[in-house]
Chain A
Amino acid sequence: LAKTTQPISMDSYEGQEVNITCSHNNIATNDYITWYQQFPSQGPRFIIQGYKTKVTNEVASLFIPADRKSSTLSLPRVSLSDTAVYYCLVGAPHRYGGATNKLIFGTGTLLAVQP
């Protein structure tokens, strides 16, 4: 499974756009890129998933270049409540014959949003 590299921490201010970049040089053809958000003492919360180009939902955008060796999670106009750890993961979401692949988490990026 492809490993990911992301910054250990980032700082931002309320109202700013935050971009967190993740490197995954060994991503496989069937791999998707998935981002999770985790608050202390809570389970990771799914943010967004994509395969190529750009994906957007109500909370974030995911930009994936053509070579797919990196991806960028974009959070528009962050607030204090966006302070959390963000995990980037890559892997095939579905195994042949059923079930889904295990997720391999790194240490994530701690985003600190200040007023």
Chain B
Amino acid sequence: DAGVTQSPTHLIKTRGQQVTLRCSPKSGHDTVSWYQQALGQGPQFIFQYYEEEERQRGNFPDRFSGHQFPNYSSELNVNALLLGDSALYLCASSASWSGPQHFGDGTRLSIL
């Protein structure tokens, strides 16, 4: 039973570029949440997708957007990248009716 998988594992971009990160939830899960984790900090909630709609959003600008597909997988898009966007981006999935969130190992995004 595969857990939460994220791709790519590492990514290097330059300022102003755009990036797309991908997440496949754990089998049986229908809700996907995205978090940003800066070095030495706890993860910060970006947004959550359920039934292909954004249901909750944290304090992140509109440059951060996402999508959920009918198979429950999800993408995180970040436009106009800034140096401060360098972080570990984590995807977590859960079952809407029960259970805790389970995390993938993230995508390490570095902005030059």
Contact = CB atoms under 8 A, between A and B. Distances in A.
Contact of A104 (B45, B88, B95): B45
Interface residues of A, number: 24
B8 to A, nearest CB: 14
Interface residues on B, range: 20 to 34
Nearest to A100: B94
Given A42-B105, A102-B56, A94 B45 contact: no
A46 B44 contact: no
Query: What is the predominant secondary structure among interface residues of chain A facing chain B?
Result: loop
A100 B31 contact: yes
B43 A41 contact: no
Contacts of B33: 100, 102-103
Contact of A46 (B50, B90, B97, B101): B101
Contacts, number: 72
Query: What is the predominant secondary structure among interface residues of chain B facing chain A?
Result: strand
A7 interface: no
Contact of B41 (A43, A44, A104, A107): A107
A99 B105 contact: no
- Shortest beta-carbon contacts, A-B, top 8: A105-B42, A43-B103, A99-B50, A102-B45, A98-B96, A100-B94, A43-B105, A99-B55
Interface of A: 34, 36, 41-46, 49, 87, 93-95, 98-108
12 contacts: A41-B88, A41-B105, A44-B90, A87-B42, A93-B99, A94-B98, A98-B31, A99-B31, A99-B48, A99-B96, A102-B33, A102-B48
